Every structure is written in structure tokens, then in C-alpha cells.
């Protein structure tokens, strides 16, 4: 309780509860027909943290860089591209299948070295569809480190729904 003086009288006023702050302010990505597309980078692309350790793997590709690679027209453009081109595989009857694709966006913006991170033999048709779409992926804006374009990984979880 908080005690306040008003007109020579002491009155007690309850302290209001603290305003709840959101734990995660990451915006939700909307559902798009049969796919859900999420960028796994939870920081804005142009955000640089002070104590972040920017790392390269043994092949010289950044796993974390100051500015993550971006689809030319942003996340919304990537979602439009996926919606327009991806198809639920014929004959499959799963309620929901998530395929996680990781690839390298090279310093010249070309996408290469696609890898399915959660490969399972019962989802081969879904994996083939993701790789088919990847095969005609347009150029991206490359990741940046110290203001220079670098090779960087990008990961996309793609959820199929019938």
C-alpha cells in the first residue's frame, strides 16, 4: 500500500499492479494456405547486438552474421514466392508436415547447397517439392559482416498442410 497526504488527511491507495510486458515481441508470421513460412532469425535483419559472437563454420560460411541474408522483397516476398510455387504432393495424406531447409546465400546473392535438416524417408515427396522450389529460387541480398557481403546460412521451416 502507498500512503498519500491529501488535504491534511492520510489516505491509503492501492499500488496498481505492474503492466505486463510481452515476453517475446517477435511478430507472428501469418498462415498462407497450405504453408507456414518462418524466418528463424528472430532479430531484425539490420540489428547488431553488442556482445554477439559472429561465427563462420569450417568452410568459411557464416552461421551468424551482423546482417542476415534477405529475399529481395523481404519475408513477405518470400512467402508470396513460396505460395505461388509450392504444391502439396499428390497422394500424401498427412495433417501437417514440416520440412526444414538450410542453404547458403553466397556473397553474390546466389542460393546454393540446399540441405534438408529433418530428413525422414516417409516425407521424401515433401522434401523433393522443397528442393524443386529451391532449384529456381531467385537471387537474395547477401548477409553482411563489417559492411561487406559474406557467404551465410539461411534456414526456412516450411509447413505443408493439405
Residue 25 pLDDT > 50? no
Residue 161 pLDDT > 80? yes
37 — pLDDT class (breaks 50, 70, 90): very low
- In sequence order, what E strands does 9-151 have? 9-13, 35-37, 70-71, 97-105, 111-116, 140-141, 143-145, 148-150
* Per-residue confidence (pLDDT) for residue 33, from 0 to 100: 39
Neighbours of 133 (CB within 10 A): 18
Amino acid at each position: 500500500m502507498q500512503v498519500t497526504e491529501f488535504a491534511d488527511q492520510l489516505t491509503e491507495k492501492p499500488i496498481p499492479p505492474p503492466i505486463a510486458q510481452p515476453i517475446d515481441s517477435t511478430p507472428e508470421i501469418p498462415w498462407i494456405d497450405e504453408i507456414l513460412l518462418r524466418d528463424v532469425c528472430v532479430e531484425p535483419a539490420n540489428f547488431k547486438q553488442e556482445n554477439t559472437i559472429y561465427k563462420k563454420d569450417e568452410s568459411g560460411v557464416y552461421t551468424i552474421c551482423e546482417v542476415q541474408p534477405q529475399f529481395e522483397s523481404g519475408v513477405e516476398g518470400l512467402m508470396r514466392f513460396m505460395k505461388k510455387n509450392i504444391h502439396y504432393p499428390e497422394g500424401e495424406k498427412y495433417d501437417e508436415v514440416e520440412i526444414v531447409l538450410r542453404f547458403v546465400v553466397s556473397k553474390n546473392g546466389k542460393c546454393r547447397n540446399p540441405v534438408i535438416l529433418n530428413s525422414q524417408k516417409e516425407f521424401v515427396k515433401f522434401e523433393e517439392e522443397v528442393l524443386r522450389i529451391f532449384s529456381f529460387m531467385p537471387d537474395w541480398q547477401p548477409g553482411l559482416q563489417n559492411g561487406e557481403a559474406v557467404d551465410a546460412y539461411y534456414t526456412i521451416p516450411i509447413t505443408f498442410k493439405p
